[in-house]
Amino acid sequence: MVHAPATQQSSGFLSTEESYALFWFRSLARFHRIRNPEQWQFNEKDVIAFLRSKLAEKTPTWKRIKIVQGLIWYRNHVRKSPNPPLEPIRQKLREIEAREREKQDERPIEEVIGRINPRESDAIQAFRRSLRLIGRKPNTERAYVQKVRAFMRDRGLKCLKDFDGIGSRDIEAHLTDLAVDGDVAGSTQDGAFYALLFFFEHVLKRDFGDINAIRSTKAPRIPTVMSKPEVIRVLSFLEGMHLIIGQLLYGCGMRISECLRLRVKDFDFDRMMIEIHNSKGDKSRFAPLPQQLVEPLRKLIANRELLHERDLANGEASVWLPHALDRKYPSAHKSFKWQFLFASARMSLDRRTGKRHRHHLHSDTFPVHLKKAVEKANLNKHVTSHTFRHSFATHLLQDGTDIRTIQELLGHSDISTTMIYTHVLVRPDVRVISPLDQLQSSPSHGVAAGIALSQSVSPDKKNVDIVETDLPEPQDEKVLCDMRSHEGGSDLIVSSVNSTQNRGVSLPSRVRSFISSMISNAIAGRSIRESG
């Protein structure tokens, strides 16, 4: 029997997602005849074999995707481990689902893929066509095309025919050059690899074999994080719509693209939640709606409705809709709930479809206002839109939020991606004091054990008569301390340098032990000669 996490057991209730995940893990364990599933460490091959059995049973692709998603949830929340990596399996199934959707689509191919520049190379045109048929996003298409173009320039390729003699050696050489000569980050080299992999599989219809290129050794950078006072200062120099964008980026941990794509329907003021759709990896998630943004957002939605009513009166109200929603609901593109909240001031032409829409703000608009705000706030850090997301995650960690919760809020598939924020975390319960500060430390600096010691050493440098120290009272005088031992205890004789006053202080055993060890450390093992 597989046991649910303790929090779930204590409540006696499992959500639909949790129940689904546990059901498919048990089905996977039964398929492989595992007697003790709670101790079983399943891997990718186990999952693939199970999915193949479901394919033989004619289980539809969408349901097999649900199986993988359930196993990913079980891996993340029950096993609390990033292994096995199941995201590539889920992505492959999504590509299969997109191809199945393509075959069922009765529209002309030109309408499905949109317009493609005929002046581009036939290789790039075919590449764009394949990316769009699979359903890759415009940003992904832009990045992949850039990588393939760089490869074509590097190898002197002009058209599809030139790829006939291209194989694994050429790809290895190109990826190695990126790492050695280009000094690119590992993520950049990975992006080039996956772009070429997609090109070979979907355009050339062949495998480019094993690639043994030199891996990039450029270490990943830790993210830049603003402190809470710095966030307040930056936000204070933003205003209007751009202030709300900045508050959402920091208050919800969104990416700038996710924020700009928010539609009116995505805000749930009753449950205080925001729905984020079509995120990176085509995922969806919920984000908490900050309480202080309720009224500003309501006012912004009201203003957005006025603009929409004007568009309706002019007969040009329209918005881009994802997937096949525009065909399933022909009038949805005119519905207010589907409109982008952060709308552009003017209509624009969709290059793929040739239709006019009121799109959301351009992604370059907010960074311009953010740059001015950072300059006015006198911050010397390199602050971008993504810095708000980094600060969101880091501040939650500092406040004690569980790393798994932060993973879900950020929409990370792999916990290792979220763990990077532990590298910039400054824990309030751990204070590391520099050795340089300890050289000149004093009680006024808040260092209780940082008492500066000096010793008066006899000419033979073996024995010490007195120990000189700084005490906070009276009047921060410099005093001479002589600890005298006697039967049953010890006394500390304190002599003021500024006066002839001497006073004896009887020491408790714990204080005697502390001062003894302090003096021993200060004189590096030398013995103290008893006085008198």
Catalytic residue among 128, 136, 255, 390: 255
Structure tokens at 108: 């002309």
Q: How far apart are alpha carbons 148 and 192 in whole angstroms?
A: 7
Structure tokens at 468: 């000189």
**What is the amino acid identity at position 189?**
Q
Tokens 């990416």 correspond to what residue? Answer: 255
Please say whether the beta carbons of 485 and 471 come within 8 A: no
Q: Is 386 a catalytic residue?
A: yes
Q: How far is CA 330 from CA 310, 317, 337, 474, in A?
A: 20, 13, 14, 85
Percentages (nearest 5) of helix, strand, coil residues in the chain: 50, 10, 40
Q: Is 287 helix (H, G, I), strand (E, B) or coil?
A: strand
Catalytic residue among 137, 218, 233, 386: 386
Choose among 296, 336, 278: nearest CA to 140: 278
In a 13 Å sphere around the CA of 112, the CA atoms on its Cβ side amount to: 20
Q: In whole angstroms, how large is the CA radius of gyration of the chain?
A: 33
Catalytic residue among 155, 280, 285, 333: 280
DSSP-derived secondary structure letter, 280: T
Q: Is 280 a catalytic residue?
A: yes
Q: Which residues pair with 492 in a beta bridge?
A: 483, 505
Q: How far apart are alpha carbons 166 and 269 in whole angstroms?
A: 56
Catalytic residue among 358, 389, 390, 395: 389
242 phi-psi bin (left φ>0, alpha ψ -120 to 50, beta other): alpha
DSSP 98-123: HHHHHHH--S-HHHHH----TTS-HH
Instruction: Order the strands of the 285-288 sheet from edge to edge.
Output: 267-268, 273-276, 285-288
DSSP-derived secondary structure letter, 223: P
Q: Is 52 a catalytic residue?
A: no
Q: Is 136 a catalytic residue?
A: no
Structure tokens at 518: 């302090």
Q: How far apart are alpha carbons 364 and 128 in whole angstroms?
A: 24
Q: How far apart are alpha carbons 247 and 366 in whole angstroms?
A: 12
Q: Is 200 helix (H, G, I), strand (E, B) or coil?
A: helix
Q: How far apart are alpha carbons 232 and 230 in whole angstroms?
A: 5
Enumerate the active-site residues.
255, 280, 386, 389, 412, 421
